[in-house]
Amino acid sequence: MRRIVLKTLAASLAAACLSLPVQAQNKPVEVEFYYPVAVGGPITKIVDDMVTDFQKENPNIKIKPIYAGSYQDSIAKALTALKGGTPPQLAVLLSTDMFTLIDEDAIVSIDSLAKTDADKKWLGGFYDAFMQNSRTGGHTWGVPFQRSTIVMYYNKDLFKAAGLDPEKPPKTWAELVDYGKKLTKQDASGNTTQWGIEIPSGGAFAYWLFQALTTPNGAILMNEAGNEVYLDKPAVVEAAQFWRDLSAKHKIMPTGTIDWGTTPKDFLEKKAAMVWTTTGNLTNIRKNADFPFGVAMMPQQKRGGSPTGGGNFYIFKSGTPEQQAAALKFAQWATTPERAADWSIATGYVAVTPAAWETEKMKKYAQEVPAATVARDQLEVSVAEFSTHENQRVTKTLNDALQAALTGSKTPQQALTDAQRESDRILRSYK
């Protein structure tokens, strides 16, 4: 009798399961998502809210954010997990990590997954300047998400106090030096209490800020294939010499190297009248500056321009077809015009598609915060961020050379000649 009852109960349960929707029977597709949190602002809450909203619309997909520290921490953790057999299925990593991820056979090309007409239209909708660090070898490997350019922030009150027009930031290298001299202040003891300009040069991003000098001087640092660099060209050396001269000759910038995090802090504390940093700092500065400030494009020498920067979505090869499809769906969802606008407004990063700037909320934001449009407009003259095969090794070589030049331990010419020689050695096998 007991056996009959159990059989009847099992049959009833089976019938009940068959009447459920398919997604209730099937376990949601789980996607581990590595995200770098050390990029400024209350990012984790914004990402958590985004994931919650996505999962409400897509209950058959579960996105599991794993907050992985800085960009450098994130790529290290992703590659360690890859070698250990447990990589994420989706990650936001630097656009410049593309060659490294390809060389490690870690990622799948986005165009191999985005096959429908709607997919292809979406993939063609991003600003081309951002796509320059997203494609190589005829394939697209990353999708622009939190992207930026370098911009100059300047304190309008300090401009007025120095007799400068607060609505006219320096447009050329010569004007930058002239303004910098007027904005640098010393106390009675000869100690500098206010610097004209600060350009960060310590840590991992010296090469990026350097491109805000090489690009306006008409120099490109690497080829599209990522297997050649041009670090010892005359225009590159000139740019490094100018950077060194800002402190050593013109005395308008602190000597030695300046840490990445020091720059916005000194700006907010009025210790620096002009600073160069990512447009991703815009929201932070807007919230914390107790003075009117302006945002401007990079000063020109031979042309305008900045490198692009920031992170792309990458989809990992080790995911199942279902996980890869789910990861693609999340990347598409997060970069729709409305959500790209939301992300830009919340963080200060540049909305990555022209369509995002056509949304009502973005039009309103651009009117209220015209500074936000500076980085977007600069995209017309922006170039790809420095990226090569063996990217971390080559970038460290260039960063070390720049720090040697800025501290005076080597001349800019010698530092960059040495960096070219070492980079050639590293890249030889990729020719």
User: Is 238's pLDDT higher than 90?
Assistant: yes
| Residue 171: CB atoms within 10 Å | 14
pLDDT value of residue 39:
53
- Find, among 206, 166, 120, the residue nearest to 404 by Cα: 206
**In sequence order, what are the residues at sequence separation of 6 or more whose Cβ sits closer than 8 angstroms to the Cβ of residue 11?**
none
* Cα–Cα dist 34/68, whole Å: 6
Residue ranges of alpha helices (H) inside 185-288 are 206-214, 234-248, 262-268, 282-288
Give mean pLDDT, residues 297-305: 97
Give the pLDDT band of residue 9 (cuts 50, 70, 90). Answer: very low
d(CA 247, CA 254): 6
**Is the pLDDT confidence value at 27 over 90?**
no
Res. 35: pLDDT tops 80: yes
pLDDT at 15 over 90: no
* pTM (predicted TM-score): 0.88
Q: Does position 204 have pLDDT exceeding 90, yes or no?
A: no
- Please write the tens of the pLDDT for every residue from 342-362: 999 988 899 999 999 999 999
Instruction: Give me 105's structure tokens.
Output: 């056979």
pLDDT, residue 347, reads 86
Domain 150-308+388-427 has CATH 3.40.190.10: yes
Does 338 score more than 90 pLDDT? Answer: yes
- On average, the pLDDT of the chain sits at 92
Q: How far apart are CA 257 and CA 289, in angstroms?
A: 24
Say yes or no to pLDDT of 305 above 90.
yes
pLDDT over 90 at 2, yes or no: no
DSSP per-residue string spanning 145-171? EEEEEEEEEEEHHHHHHTT--TT----
The yes-or-no verdict on residue 316 having pLDDT over 90 is yes
The CA distance from 241 to 264, in Å, is 24
Looking at the predicted structure, is the pLDDT value of residue 14 above 90? no
d(CA 212, CA 150) in angstroms, rounded, equals: 7
In percent, the amount of the chain with pLDDT more than 70 equals 93
The confidence band for 417, taking pLDDT boundaries of 50, 70 and 90, is: very high
What pLDDT is stored for residue 139 in this prediction? 96
**Region 372-377 average pLDDT:** 95
Residue 11 has pLDDT above 50, yes or no: no
Q: Which amino acid is at 250?
A: H
What is residue 4's predicted lDDT score, i.e. its pLDDT?
A: 44
- Residue 171 has a pLDDT of 98
In this model, does residue 188 exceed pLDDT 60?
yes
- Domain ranges in the chain? 29-148+309-381, 150-308+388-427
Mean pLDDT within 41-61: 90
In this structure, whether the domain defined by 29-148+309-381 belongs to CATH 3.20.10.10 is answered with: no
Q: What is the pLDDT of residue 38?
A: 62
Band (423; pLDDT cuts 50, 70, 90): very high
Share of the chain above pLDDT 90, in %: 86
Of the pLDDT bands very low, low, confident and very high (cuts 50, 70, 90), residue 129 is: very high
Helix (H) or strand (E) holding 180: helix 173-183
Q: What is the pLDDT of residue 248?
A: 97
Q: Rounded to an integer, what distance in angstroms lies between the CA atom of residue 285 and that of residue 294? A: 11
Q: Does residue 24 surpass a pLDDT of 60?
A: no
Domains 29-148+309-381 and 150-308+388-427 share a fold: yes
- The residues that bridge with 139 in the sheet, in sequence order, are 136
